[in-house]
Homo-oligomer: A and B are copies of this chain.
Amino acid sequence: MSGTVHLVGAGPGAADLLTVRAARLLGEADVVFFDALVPPGVLALAPDAQKIPVGKRCGRHSTAQRFINKRLLDAARRYRTVVRLKGGDPMLFGRAQEEISFLGKNRIKVEIVPGITSALAASAELGISLTLRGVSRSVVFATPRSADGESSGWARAVAAADTAVLYMAAGDAVRVRDALMASGKSPRTPVAVAESVALEGQALHAGDLQTLPELAARCAGGPALVMIGDVFAAAQAAAWRSLEPRAASQTA
């Protein structure tokens, strides 16, 4: 009888922004496989588990994923409760499907526990709702990263939505800005770059689409979100103030 693999969302970083279910599973886990971005405070919720880092490196995705799949399978055959901990939510830019399919084919039971995706954590920290009556009733989460040098479908999706949050985009700010302006987004569209949301070093850089490369250049190297849309006009004035006290209280 094999164990169950739980794909668990670790949320944005703060240990109290996991779900109650995720925290309970970590406490019960025999073994926890975790990504590079999961901070120590979250791993501390699994004091009795074997903790195994399986961070992936850019450009070496396929090999690493096959290796992770195999390790999850081996663990499920040996242990009762296996937790695969992924930053944010597993079903949004978490590459969960490859693990779900592989384990399913090998008749391992998989349960998925959702997590707070960093876009929603950033919105909460900023105090700016992603939807707003009369301004925004569509919100797109997208990434311009592609393994295969693919097209600008993501830019059309971003241009068509009222509000957009781009994951894994801050390192590629010039290309992102140019693609969005080519897709019809105004250079004056408000933009906020949120770095290390709910982690030590949380910071916000607000401006507009035209200035996105400068905003991204101010990041100190933490994971960053690029947030685009009229709802973020408020970020240009107020966000620093609302962010700093929370960042201080959270890293205490």
Contacts and interface: CB of A to CB of B under 8 A. Distances in A.
The size bracket of the interface on A is: 35 or more
Given A19-B16, A120-B117, A138 B142 contact: yes
Contacts of A162: 153, 157
B20 A124 contact: no
A117 B131 CA distance: 13
Q: DSSP majority for the A interface? A: mixed
Contacts of A134: 148
Contact of A18 (B19, B112, B141, B154): B19
Nearest to A117: B120
Interface string A9-31: 10100111111110110000000
Contacts of A125: 112
Contact of A159 (B100, B116, B139, B160): B160
A64 interface: no
B124 A138 contact: no
Contacts of A130: 91-92
A103 to B, nearest CB: 10
Given A17-B21, A121-B114, A137 B127 contact: no
A78 B146 CA distance: 53
Given A21-B16, A92-B120, A129 B141 contact: no
A140 B120 contact: no
A96 B136 CA distance: 13
A236 interface: no
B143 A137 contact: yes
A200 to B, nearest CB: 17
A131 B91 contact: yes
Interface of A: 9, 11, 14-21, 23-24, 89-98, 100, 104, 110-117, 120-121, 123-125, 127-134, 137-143, 145-148, 153-154, 156-162, 246
The 6 A-B residue pairs with the shortest CB-CB distance, nearest first, are: A160-B160, A138-B142, A138-B157, A112-B124, A91-B123, A16-B21
